[in-house]
Structure 1
Amino acid sequence: MKKNIIVALALLVAGASLSTIEAKKNKKEPVKPSIQLVTASDSLSYTAGYVLAEIVRERFLGGLAEQVKDTPDSLQMRMAYQGLFDALMGDTTLFKSRPAEKFLNDRVAAIHKAKEEKAKAAGKAFLDENAKKEGVVVLPSGLQYKVLKQGNGPVAKADDRVKVKYEGRLIDGTVFDSTDKHGGQPATFAPSQVIKGWTEALTMMPVGSKWQLYIPQELGYGSRPSGMIPAYSTLVFDVEVLGIEEKKSEK
């Protein structure tokens, strides 16, 4: 984090002052450049700062804005630019370097913690309510499932390779992955290669079965966000087992 902050402070305000930013937002009058690029060295220096600032704005501040999304906090770009400008100018009226870094780190950590606790609570409430629904089976591990279609084929072992079709959703209904998103072709993998909730279900489902799985975060990705899946997310999957690949005989 310290390295990111130093890079951001050094680069983001390289090309513009706050007055220029405000004038561009106004757009009532043509904005006159605050500097003139006279020599090749001027252009080299300016474009180096500009390009690097774009990278930091998109990757550092953009990433921070995403982290505080759906929380009481928000990233106000004008304030961010002011902080960067003050740091470059050596203005310590509001913050010095180390206290500023500590505040940012502590605040981001608190935001993450609050989001995690909210996700855990939402998942638990969903599963508690879901467990009361007709047809839902609750296993000792916490995995819940509902049989949509019961097959009568063999059941895969952990090291078998199974062919499945699936759709995965967050508890708000957001689809984060499905075989349809990958051309509609079945996915093939061993039950031991996937999240614990899938491993448990796939080693219980006869070929031909289609179940709806309700996977608590402990049996899913837990603290690890994955793509569209936030940390500590309870997951819902529709899973259909189409077959088990025959193992190749060793020669």
Structure 2
Amino acid sequence: MRHPCRGYCLIVNNYEFDASTKMSARSGTASDLAVLRESFRRLQFQLVIVENVRCGQLLSLCSQLAAQDHSQADCFAAVLMSHGEPDQIYGTDGLLRVDEILARFRGDVCPGLAGKPKLFFLQACRGSKFDAGVEVPDSGAPSDEADAAAIEQQQRRLLPSEADFLVAWRNAVHGSWFVQSLCRSLDEWGYGGRLDLQRLLTRVCWRVANLYESNARDPLLCRKKQVPCIVSMLTKEVYFVP
């Protein structure tokens, strides 16, 4: 990525919700916002940070950002932190389909980002099932090749206007392991272009899956595991070179 500027990074932090949603407040999210601000600023993104936005406000903001001049930008990034359901994320007033957000940045809608990476990181619980994990032999460092065939097959089914997206979901049980691991990995391996983004995210998955488990008073919530879900339609490697 060799354009004059890195591009915009939208950070959405929803932690208070209308009573009608029956969603609890998300405590502790300020620390996630702090590390995200530091990591993405270090990568030279132009930050746009909003908190506690309604569904309509979020879609309007995405449309406004998509309408900006991205011709001199390397890419676009967004981090969305909220409650969620499968393929949906909460505004403060209710659920919003993630594909409605992604659609604002498709290549046929936002020509300035056509052929450029559009990176979405979502920290939002995607359901109510818990993962107790299984015991496996220690295999050391994570493999970078595990899902290459599946990713390639999925790319062939997608329309060209949907190319160059990467969406990283957090499938959470408890805590903010994904954001903390993501920012640490961006600082260690992203800054200076040490690793391309997909290899970096494989290490994030390994870190979250192997180094964290829940510690709760409720036995049903204790010692549970999680692993981020990475969906990539990128057509090239992404390095955050200075």
TM bucket normalised to smaller: under 0.3
In terms of fraction of residues, the more helix-rich structure is: 1
TM-score by length of 2: 0.21
Higher relative contact order (CA 8 A, sep 6+): 2
**Structure 1-normalised TM-score?**
0.21
